[in-house]
Chains A and B, each alone.
Chain A
Amino acid sequence: SNSLTFCLLQFSLSFGIQDDHKLSASELEEKYGTSINKGLSSSRAAEILARDGPNSLTPPKATPEIVKFLKQMVGGFSILLWIGAVFSWISFGIQFAQGAESPFDNLYLGVVLALVVILTGIFAYYQEAKSTNIMASFSKMIPQQALVIRDAEKKELPAEQLVVGDIVEIKGGDRIPADIRLISAQGCKVDNSSLTGESEPQSRSCDFTHENPLETKNIAFYSTTCVEGTATGIVINTGDRTVIGRIASLASGVGNEKTPIAIEIEHFVYLVAGVAISIGVLFFIISVSMRYKILDSIIFLIGIIVANVPEGLLATVTVSLSLTAKRMAKKNCLVKNLEAVETLGSTSIICSDKTGTLTQNRMTVAHLWFDNQIYSADTSEDQTTQPFDQSSPSWTALSKIVTLCNRAEFRPGQENLPIMKRVVVGDASETALLKFAEVILGDVMSIRAQNKKVAEIPFNSTNKFQLSIHETDDPNDKRFLLVMKGAPERILERCSTIMINGKEEPLDSEKAEAFQTAYMELGGMGERVLGFCHLYLPENEFPDTYPFDTDSMNFPTSNLCFVGLLSMIDPPRSTVPDAVSKCRSAGIKVIMVTGDHPITAKAIAKSVGIISATSETVEDIAKRLNIPVEQVNRREATAAVVNGMELKDMSLQQLDDILCNHSEIVFARTSPQQKLIIVEGCQRQGAVVAVTGDGVNDSPALKKADIGIAMGIAGSDAAKNAADMVLLDDNFASIVTGVEEGRLIFDNLKKTIAYTLTKNIAELCPFLIYIIASIPMPIGTITILFIDLGTDIIPSVALAYEKAESDIMNRRPRNKKKDRLVNEQLAVYSYLQIGIIQSVGAFVTYFTVYAEQGFLPSTLLGVRVDWENNAINDFEDSYGQEWTKYQRMYLQWTGYTAFFVSITIQQVADLIIRKTRRNSIFQQGLFRNKVIWVGIFSQIGIALILSYGLGHVTALNFIPLRFQYWFVAVPFAILIWVYDEVRKLFIRRYPGSWWDKNMYY
C-alpha cells in the first residue's frame, strides 16, 4: 500500500470513490437504489447500463486508419516523388497542348511515380497494421464472468454488463470485475499488484479503516485479483470511471518520444532529399543556362530526383526491422512498435523491476538453520532434489513440522507436472514450504493424512504464529504432536529447549546467542525467516479423546522445543546473473527499481551482479571503516541503494548526482510514480532508457521510457498497452538477447543503406553527363525505378540476415548524437568512391554497346539535339551508315539495358563488400549468410527476365541484350571488391589513422 502514487491520490480525490467507503450498508443500498439481498432488477440494470455504458476500459483512442494511411503517403521520400509526378504531368500537359509527338511518355512517368509512392505507402501501412494486429490479438482476453445477484437470483454475467449498484460475489482466484465496496468478507485477500506493483496480498474486510478510499480495507479495485477468501460487495464504479480506468487514461497523456531509429531515418531522409534537391536545382540552372528548353530542364529535374531517391529503401528498412522483430518474438521479445527493435540496441540504461523479472516471482526456501549450522538449499527453477545433509534427526523433526504445520495444498490433478510448476492454494511462504517438503520427502499429502490433524490455529497478525496438533504416524506412539511456526523471535520466546542432533537441550544464553546470530545472518540476506518448534504432548495428560479447543487453548503453547529456522526468498532467475554481466560488458547500466525492502533488494542485486561482489555502498564503507555515514567520501562508493523515502526528498540535482556517480544503483521501496522520476533522471543524462514494468501504475514510466518493456505473464493490460515491447517469459535475460538483435539490426541497416545509396550515383551520373556532354541518354527513368524497386530489393533485405562482425555485446551502446546511422563517411564512401566506380563501369558498357553498333565515343559527344530529332532519319554514324530515328531509339534502349545490367552486376560486388564494414569478407565467410546468395541470384534473375523476358514490351524500354555485354562491367565489379578489401585491410592495420577516420563508416 505504500506504493500508491500521487496521481492516484489526486484522481481519487478529485473524481473519486467519494465517500462510499464511509457509508453503511443501508446507506449504500439507498444511494445506489439496490438491495443487498435481491440485487438490482434486470430492467433497472439495463437502464443503468444504457446510461453508463459497458463496464470495460475504453481502448486508447486510436489514430483513424485513413490518417495512418495518408501519413504513409506523404512520409519519407514520398513528397519528392509526388513533386516528380506532378512535374511529369505538368510537362505532359504543356507538351500535349503544344501537340508534340510523344507527350504520353511523361504522363506514364508521372503515373509510375505516383504508383511507386502509393504502393510503397500501402506496403508500409500494411506492415504497420500487421504489427499492431499482433498486439491486438495478444491483448484480447477471454471475456470475464462475474457472479451477480439480480432479481434476487445469482447469475453468471459477463463482467462487461455490470452496472453501478450490482451486488457481486467474489472468491479466491477471481479478478475483481469493477470497483467494489465490500459489504461482507471472509478471509478475503487481494493482490493489488496490477494497481500498485506490489505483490504482497492485502486483506480486505467490510470495515472502514482509512479516510483515503485507496487505503481503506473495504474497497476492492477493478482488475486486481482476489487471492483467497470470499466477499460480497456493491459495484460503485464501472469502466473508465474505475480507479484503474483513470490511470489508464493518464498514461495515454504521456507523449511518446521519437525512437532513435526514427530520428536516424529522418536524418537520412533529410540528407538524401537535400542532395537530390540541391543537385536537381543546380542542374536545372545549368541546363537552363545551357539554353535547354525549360520543359526539358524540368524533365531532367525529375530524372535527377528519381535517380537520387532510393525508392525502395524505406520499405526495405521496414522489412528488415520486421524480420528482426520476428526473430525477437521467437526469443520471447514481442515488439509492438517496429522501430523499438533498434531502440533496444541503443539502450544504455535498463531500469528493471525486481519481482518476476530478475527473480522467479515465487518464494523458495533458500536456507535452513538447525543443529547450530546454516544449510543452503537449491533455489533453481527446476529443482528435483535438495543436496544439503539430511541425515541429522533434527532435520527429521524439522521436516515434520514443515510438512504438518502448513495449510497449503496442491490443486488436484497435477501429479504429472514437475513439483515446481504445480499450482498451490495457499500463500507464498506456505507454498514455498509445501514445495520444499514435497521435493525432499515426496508425497506430503499422504504424510499429512497419516498424521491426522486434530486442532489448528491459523496464522494471524496478533499471534504471529501458526499452530496445529496431530496424531503421529507411529502406531506405537499414542502422543499428540504439537507443531508451531512463526516469527522466529516469537517462537523462541515460547521455547525452553532446543533440539541439537535430535536431542533436546536446554535453551541457555549461549544457544540463544547462536540463534540470534543465525537469525541476523539470514535476515541480512534479505530473506524472510520463519522459526519452527514442536512438542510431543504427554500421553497421560492428553489421551486419545482429549477435546482440544483452539479458542481456550487448553494445551501448552510455551516451554516448547525449538527445532530450527527456515528462510525464504524470491530467488533470482538462473539466467539473470549471466545476462547482467553481458549488459555490463555491453556498457549497459542495469538499475534495479523495486518496491521491496532495501535489504532484500540489495541481496538480490548482489546475487545477480547488479551490485558486483567487490563494490560497496556508502553504508558498507561506513560499516567497514566504522565511521558515520556522513564522513564517507561518496565518490568511493560505486554502488548505491536508494530508498524511496530518500528519493522523495531529493532535488533533481541530487538524483542526477546519484545517477551520474554510481555505476551500480538499486532503488528500493519506490513507488511506480518515482519510477517515472528515475526514468526522466536517466534521460537527462542523455541515456536511452529501457524500463520494465507490469503494474498499471508503471504505464506512465513505460510510456516515458525510450523503450517500455511490459511483462507478458505478470503484466497488466495497461502496462502492455503502454509498452513498446512485451517480454513473453518475463525474463530479464530475454531483454539482453533483444539488445543484441537491436545492435545487429543497426549495423545491418547501415550496410543496407550504404548498399542502396551507392547505385544512386550510377543512376545520377548518366543524367549529369547527358546534360553536359549531350550524349544520347544512357539510362531511362523507368529503368532506374526497376533497379530501385526490382533488382535491389531482395539483396538489401538479405543484408539484414548478416551475422555480426565482432562481439557486438562487447562494445558500448552507441552515442545517440555521434554514431549516426548514415554518417559522412558512409555517404562519401558510397557516393564518391564506390558509386563513381560503378558509374565508370556502366559507362564503359554503354560506350561499348554504341561503338560496336557503329557510334564511336567521339561521335556521341554533342549529338543529343540531332539524335533526338524525330525528322532526321538518315543520321550518320562513325562508319557512314545511316540510321532512322526509331533505329536510334532502339539502340538507345539497348544502351539503357546495358547500363542497367552493368549496375546490377556491380551491385552484386557492392552487396558482397557490404557484408562487412571492417573485417575481410573471407573472415566473415562468403557463404555463411545464405540469404545474400538468394539476393544475388534474384538480382541477376530479375535482370535476365527484364532483358530477355520483357525485352519486347516497348513501354518498359528493355531490350534483349547480347550475352557478352553482361560481362563488360565485371572488371569494375572486381575492382570494387578488391578496393574495398584494401580499404578494410588498412582500417584493421592502422586503427585511428587518417584512413580509418575517413574510410570507416
Chain B
Amino acid sequence: SEPGMELNAASPGGKRPENKDEEKVQDPNTGEAETKAEMGNKTWADLAGEMKTFLWNPEERTCLGRTAKSWGLILLFYFVFYTCLAGMFAFCMYVMLLTLSPYTPTYRDRVSPPGVMIRPYLNGFTIAFNISKRSTWQPYVDSMHHFLAAYDDKVQEEKNIECISGQYFIQGGNESEEKKACQFKRSLLQNCSGIEDQTFGYSRGQPCILLKMNRIIGYRPGAGVPVSVDCKVQKGNESDLRSVDFYPGNGTFDLMYYPYYGKITHVNYTSPLVAMHFTDVKRNSLVPIQCSLHGKGIVNDVNSDRFLGRIIFMLSIGK
C-alpha cells in the first residue's frame, strides 16, 4: 500500500543523517560552538586572547569595554556621586556631633560600674621576680616611679587643692567651667610611696602594687561610704597570702576624689590609688591573688568581665 512504499523509500536514504544526529548528540564539541562557548568550554588561549581584547581593544579603542569618553563620563559620574555621598555623611556626622556635650558623654551605662587596674603594668598580670636579681624587678620599680611622677607631693600641691575628706567634692556651676582637683599626694602611700624605699619593697620581696579604679564621669562610688579594697588568694591555699598592708587609710578610696568631671574641665584630676603591700607572700610559687572593691553599687562577681570591680594577678617572688 501507499504508506508502506513511502516508508521503504525513506529507510535506506534516511538512515545516514540519523546516525549523524546521534553522534552530534553524544559529542557536545561539534556544532553549536557559540552556545557552548558561553558555557566555559573555551581553551586557555582563547580566554587569554579575549582577556587581552577586553583589556585593550585597539579597533574600537576601548579599555575594559569602554572608550576614553565613556570612562571619563562614568568616572565623572562616580566622582559627583561619591562627593555628594561624602557630603551627606559629613553632614550627618556633624549634626550628630552637635548633639553631643563635650563634657559628658550622652550615655555612661556601658562603662559603669567601674573596672579595676593595677600598677605596675608591663605586659600582663603576672608579677614575677627574683629578689637577688635586680634586673628582674627593676622594670616594675621603674614603671611605678614613672606612674607616680604625677603624684609627687610638689606637683600635687602646685596644681591641686586640699579637699575635705569624707565627702564628695561636688562642684556646681557651669558645666564648661574648669573644675578643681583634689590633691592625692604620693606620700599618702607611705611604705609604698617609693620615697623611703625607692624599690617599693621589691628588693625585699615585699612588693607594692597600686590599685586604680577606672574613671567614670559623674560616678559617686559607694553612695556615701568609701569603697574599700581587700585581697585574697583566688584559687589554692589561703595561707599563701599571709599579710597585706593597705595605704592610704585601710585601703579605701576617699569620697573627696569623686565625682570625676571629664578630661576637658577636670584637667589635673589624678585618680586616687590604693597601694597594697604584700609583706608576706609564699615564696617561689605562683600565687593567684584577687583584689576586689567593696561598696554599694560596686559589682565584682561577673564571670564574663574579670576586671569589673576586681582584678586577678599572679605574684611569684623568688629568692
CB A206 to nearest CB in B, in angstroms, measures 18
Structural contact, A891 and B110, CB atoms closer than 8 A? yes
Closest to A883 in B: B111
Structural contact, B85 and A684, CB atoms closer than 8 A? no
Structural contact, A840 and B85, CB atoms closer than 8 A? yes
Closest to A257 in B: B35
B257-299 vs A, CB cutoff 8 Å, 1 = contact: the mask equals 0001011101001000000000000000000000000000000
Residues of A within 8 A of B18 (CB): 6-7, 10, 673
Decide yes or no: A880 and B215 within 8 Å by CB, A844-B96, A856-B97, A891-B110 being known contacts.
yes
Cα–Cα, bound, A689→B214 (Å):
75
Residues of A within 8 A of B81 (CB): 833
Residues of B within 8 A of A891 (CB): 110
Structural contact, A851 and B38, CB atoms closer than 8 A? no
Decide yes or no: A975 and B216 within 8 Å by CB, A683-B32, A884-B308, A890-B110 being known contacts.
no
B55-93 vs A, CB cutoff 8 Å, 1 = contact: the mask equals 000000000000000000110011001100100110011
CB B222 to nearest CB in A, in angstroms, measures 18
Structural contact, A884 and B305, CB atoms closer than 8 A? yes
Residues of B within 8 A of A648 (CB): 10, 13-14
Residues of A within 8 A of B304 (CB): 886, 954
Give the number of residue pairs across the A-B interface with Cβ within 8 Å: 176
Residues of A within 8 A of B73 (CB): 994
Q: Which of B100-108, B153-161, B168-176, B232-240 contacts A (4 or more CB under 8 A)?
A: B100-108
Interface of B is mostly: mixed
A1-36 vs B, CB cutoff 8 Å, 1 = contact: the mask equals 110101101100000000000000000000000000
Residues of B within 8 A of A871 (CB): 121, 123-125
Structural contact, A210 and B4, CB atoms closer than 8 A? yes
Decide yes or no: A853 and B111 within 8 Å by CB, A9-B11, A263-B39 being known contacts.
yes
Structural contact, A873 and B262, CB atoms closer than 8 A? no
CB A303 to nearest CB in B, in angstroms, measures 23
CB B40 to nearest CB in A, in angstroms, measures 8
A253 within 8 A of B: yes
Q: Tally chain B residues at the interface, Cβ within 8 Å.
A: 71
Decide yes or no: A1 and B3 within 8 Å by CB, A648-B13, A881-B214 being known contacts.
yes
A832 within 8 A of B: yes
A444 within 8 A of B: no
A882-897 vs B, CB cutoff 8 Å, 1 = contact: the mask equals 1111110011001000
A837 within 8 A of B: yes
Structural contact, B105 and A873, CB atoms closer than 8 A? no
Cα–Cα, bound, A883→B114 (Å):
8
Residues of A within 8 A of B82 (CB): 836
Residues of A within 8 A of B10 (CB): 2, 6, 645, 648, 671
Interface of A is mostly: helix
Decide yes or no: A254 and B25 within 8 Å by CB, A673-B18, A843-B89 being known contacts.
yes
Cα–Cα, bound, A10→B19 (Å):
10
**Most A-side CB within 10 Å, residue of B108, B115, B217, B306:** B115
B210 within 8 A of A: no
CB A814 to nearest CB in B, in angstroms, measures 14
Cα–Cα, bound, A689→B218 (Å):
77
B116 within 8 A of A: yes
Structural contact, B307 and A686, CB atoms closer than 8 A? no
Structural contact, B308 and A676, CB atoms closer than 8 A? no
A835-865 vs B, CB cutoff 8 Å, 1 = contact: the mask equals 0110010011001100111101100000000
Residues of A within 8 A of B77 (CB): 998
Cα–Cα, bound, A891→B110 (Å):
7
Closest to B31 in A: A684
Decide yes or no: A832 and B78 within 8 Å by CB, A704-B25, A886-B307 being known contacts.
yes
A635 within 8 A of B: no
Decide yes or no: A873 and B26 within 8 Å by CB, A854-B108, A883-B111 being known contacts.
no
30 contacts between A and B (CB under 8 A): A6-B10, A7-B18, A9-B15, A255-B26, A258-B39, A263-B39, A673-B18, A677-B17, A817-B38, A843-B89, A847-B96, A853-B108, A854-B105, A856-B100, A857-B93, A873-B115, A873-B311, A879-B105, A880-B215, A880-B266, A881-B111, A881-B214, A883-B110, A883-B111, A884-B308, A887-B305, A887-B308, A891-B110, A971-B88, A972-B88
Q: Using A832-B78, A854-B111 as known contacts, list a sample of 7 further A-B pairs with CB atoms less than 8 Å apart, ordered by residue number in A.
A: A6-B14, A877-B111, A881-B260, A884-B308, A886-B304, A886-B305, A894-B110
